[in-house]
Every structure is written in structure tokens, then in C-alpha cells.
Amino acid sequence: MMKLAVSWEVKRITTKFEFKIARSAESFYDVVIVKITDGEQAGYGEAAPSRRYHDSTTQVTTLLENLTNEIISLPVQDAELRQAKIEALFSDSLSLQAALDMAFWDLHAKQLGKPLHQVLAAEIEMPISSYTIGISDLDMIKPKLDEAITYPILKIKLGSPQDEEIMGVIRQHTDKILRVDANEGWKTVDEAKRRIEWLAGQNVEFIEQPMPAMQLDDIAKLHDWSPLPIVADENSVRPEDVPGLSGVYHGINIKLMKCGGLTNALKMVALAQKHHLDLMMGCMVETSVAISAAAQIGSFMRWLDLDGNVLIANDPFIGVGNVAGKLILSNEPGIGVRRR
């Protein structure tokens, strides 16, 4: 087998609508596509850095440039050893950890000639994914709902002073199942309780990250009281976070860009099951590379929010299909992506 080689490119992806959450608003994102080849097969990964986790595209590309030799000496077959080395080398960039782990898994599965979900003992069938509606000016809600017309489940970003008006407009136009993500936007237990109580009567399935991650004791006060399940996002970053969330949250959201890739995501699945926490797989705004990688383990989840690639207007790759929230995995070896 030939020596490994690594290459990368920065891609600017634009969203169909401005993507606004409680913390920020963006209409484009820069991601880094990483390619690792053994001379015959190529594995792809993606880094979609987040300021929330002190990560940036510049940081990712600088690390890639400076540590190329270390990357090509990583083992393709031994995920545990590889992940330990990746975390030691790239502790400053969670998204680069994810990109490298993804690319190595993609390459490994291609070398085996199997789809990655088969290698990881996951199924093709998985829950329906939601479609995300970012915090919106009220006159933009209807066009966003029209864009999502075929999706049976919507994820609504709240956590702004306009929460009630936003929900009011949404409920004028649709009675679909909603999931609410407050992105740490509610700052006190009283405010969170008021919001949750108000949302409980509106066909809402669960509440994601109602309060700031640092207020874990406050969030614990919601756990036994809440009429709706509460799901950790910003509190559920790495495998080591999971045991401490038992009795505080009802479930966790796993994102490859936070946890450092599929190897750690699988550890989080096992830990969540051990601690009786429900499982959700989420994403950032990402291309089909990262979404296809995450979908490989979608069957292990109760809830899916893997819509990052359908929120963008210029996906440079074709990968997992999304028909009205039903994700369709490829039977091709690896994660099943190719350039558009």
C-alpha cells in the first residue's frame, strides 16, 4: 500500500436564508474539506469550525500545514489509537479532529469495500430528520416554512426577545411537530420554566439547551419538573461530559464538530445508553461530506437533526439523500460522497 498523502481546500458555503441563532447570524460559512489518500482510495472529511468552541478556518489550515507529516503517519485501521493521537496533536481544533477522523473512517471503509454504516454495525433505516428554521424577522418566517414544506418535523431556533411572536407566526401557518432549540438563550430558571410551560401546549417534542451551559445547577432544576424532555447541546461536547448530564438532562445532542468525529460519537452513544439518556445527532451548517459521515450512525439515535447540507445553496458534494427528512444512505463504500 502506498504512503498516505493529505490535501485540503477551503470552501465558502452560502445559506439559502440568513441563519440566525441566539448568539449570531450568518449568511455564509467557510469549511475545510480534507482528503486523505493511500494512492488508490481517497477518504474525505470536513471541518466546520465554530467560534463557540474557539475554532476557526485559519486555525484548521495552519494546523494542517504544520502537522502534515504527523497526519500521514496516523493508522488507518486502529481508530482508538488514531483518535488518541489526533486529540493530542489537534487539541486546539475540535472540527479538525472531526475532519481527520471522518476522512480516515471513509478511507478505511473504502479499503474494506463496504459502506461505513456496515463497518460500524449501524442500520440503513433511521429516524426522520428535522429541518431547522433559524431565528427570523417575522416577515421571513413564511418563506422559510415554504422552503420546508415537505418536512414533517421542524426545529425552531428561539432564545430571543421575540420568541412568542416567532412561535405565533409559525403556528398561524403550520401545526407540524416542532423541536425548540434555545441555544442558551434563557438566562434564569423562572424564564426557562415560563417558556417551557408555554411551549408544552404547542405540539413541541423537546427543548434543546434552554440555558447557558455554565448554569448546569439551574438546568438540573428543570429536569424533574419539565413537561417536555430537555436535551443537552452546548453541555454535551465530548464523551467525558456525558456521565455528569444524567439527572440534569433527558437526552444529549451529539455533533461531530464538537466531539471530534465518529470515534468519539460512538463512545458518547455507549455512555448515553449506560446513563439512560436519549440520543440525538445534530450538525452545524455543513456540506454533504460531514452530514453523510454523521448519517452513518443515524440509526443509533432517537432524534435526528441532520439538515446542514439542505440549508445551503452551493453544496460542493453529493452524498446522503434527504427526501422530506428521510435520509437515504448510499451503498457505495465509505461515507458515499463524491464531488458535484
CATH number at residue 59: 3.30.390.10
Q: What is the pLDDT of residues 111-168, one digit of tens each?
A: 999 999 999 999 999 999 999 998 888 999 999 999 999 999 999 999 999 999 999 9
Contact 232, 223 (CB under 8 A): no
Query: Residue 286 pLDDT more than 80?
Result: yes
Q: What is the pLDDT of residues 36-68, one digit of tens each?
A: 999 999 999 999 999 888 899 999 999 999 999
Contact 340, 315 (CB under 8 A): yes
Statement to judge: residues 78 and 134 lie in one domain: no
Statement to judge: residues 108 and 238 lie in one domain: no
**Where a domain ends, among 92, 113, 134?**
113
- DSSP assignment string, 202-246: TTEEEEE--S-TT-HHHHHHHHTT-SS-EEESTT--SGGGSGGGB
Statement to judge: residues 97 and 169 lie in one domain: no
Statement to judge: residues 69 and 132 lie in one domain: no
Q: Where are the beta strands (DSSP E) in 85-152?
A: 131-133
Statement to judge: residues 100 and 206 lie in one domain: no
Statement to judge: residues 185 and 306 lie in one domain: yes
Statement to judge: residues 171 and 255 lie in one domain: yes
Statement to judge: residues 149 and 290 lie in one domain: yes
Statement to judge: residues 269 and 316 lie in one domain: yes
pTM of structure: 0.96
Q: Of 85, 137, 76, whose CA–CA distance to 110 is shortest?
A: 76
**Where a domain ends, among 113, 139, 164?**
113
Statement to judge: residues 208 and 294 lie in one domain: yes
Statement to judge: residues 154 and 272 lie in one domain: yes
Residues 164-193 have a mean pLDDT of: 96
Q: Tally the domains of the chain.
A: 2
Reading phi first (left if > 0) and then psi (alpha if -120 to 50, else beta), residue 312 is in: beta
Q: Are strands 303-304 and 326-328 parallel, antiparallel or unpaired?
A: unpaired
Residues 217-245 have a mean pLDDT of: 97
Statement to judge: residues 188 and 98 lie in one domain: no
Q: What is the pLDDT of residue 24?
A: 78
Range of the domain at 249: 118-339
CATH number for position 142: 3.20.20.120
